[in-house]
Amino acid sequence: MKIISADDVSVIKNETKNTDEDSLVIFDCDNVLTTVKVGTFKAQNQNFLKNYLHEKSVSKDKFYDKIRLVLINENTYIVNQYMVDLVANLSKRNIRHMVATSYSVRPLKDVPDPMQWRIDNLHEMGYFFEKSWPDQKEDIVLNDFGTDHNPIFRDGILFCDIFSKSDCIRSFFEHIGWTPKKIIFIDDVLRNLSCVGEFCDENKIEYTGIEYIESQRINSHIPFSYNLGKFQMDHLINESIWLKDEEVHKILSDS
């Protein structure tokens, strides 16, 4: 197992340049491919978020369900345009690649198919992961998780919901009857990289994990305050409403 850190795309480009058709490159989505400029969810404020969820006894299940409202209501940005080019180059070289995201599969009140929203959003950014899986025309439901919101693979995106990415990747390989000889996994969460690395070690798969932290640097200037974050989270968790920073500032200044 090899895990390295990278704050720009050049490291990823170097690690993927010698991959072949027996390899698989896996990308996280949020803060790797795309990002939203919201201070409450940035790495530098993770202690606020962790403490809030603990103090309010918000379950992981509930949080993952609500967090999609932030993504849907905020503007999405590409972390680095060169990443779009890198993914396109993998397609040209016939190197299999996919996304593994914790994005939930469950419908929302105003968005009956949020998975398709996520795919369409990636298309708008220039990412087309389905090109790497031309034979997978239908959803692959990983029904061995035994819930009503099992992980789903669609158009090159593995929607893991609340389940670990390593378990979802394992199940996905079993469903399609294929296991790569090498995996390169790009994520901004070290825990995810380590878990997938352990899975690869157990299954004799060559592995490189890349902790990609460029979004932390480019978003480090985003202002944040405790009162703003608490106001946003209270409305998100209790009322299923996401208020943008400027909306909160106006409400708090008028009160």
Could you report the per-residue pLDDT of 46-104, keeping only the tens digit for each?
889 999 999 999 998 899 889 899 988 999 999 999 999 999 999 999 999 999 999 98
- Predicted TM-score (pTM) of this structure: 0.93
Distances, alpha carbon 181 to alpha carbons 21, 78, 96, 208, in Å:
9, 30, 12, 12
d(CA 39, CA 24) in angstroms, rounded, equals 33
pLDDT band of residue 125 (cuts 50, 70, 90) is very high
What are the structure tokens assigned to 110, written together?
A: 């105003």
CATH number of 2-37+75-224: 3.40.50.1000
Q: What is the pLDDT of residues 215-227, one digit of tens each?
A: 888 766 777 889 9
* Alpha-carbon torsion, ordered 211, 83, 102, 70, to 10 deg: 110
d(CA 176, CA 158) in angstroms, rounded, equals 13
Residue 239: per-residue pLDDT: 93
Average pLDDT over all residues of the chain: 93
Over residues 30-34, mean pLDDT: 95
pLDDT band of residue 111 (cuts 50, 70, 90) is confident
What are the structure tokens assigned to 56, written together?
A: 């309010």
- DSSP-derived secondary structure letter, 30: B
Residue 65: per-residue pLDDT: 86
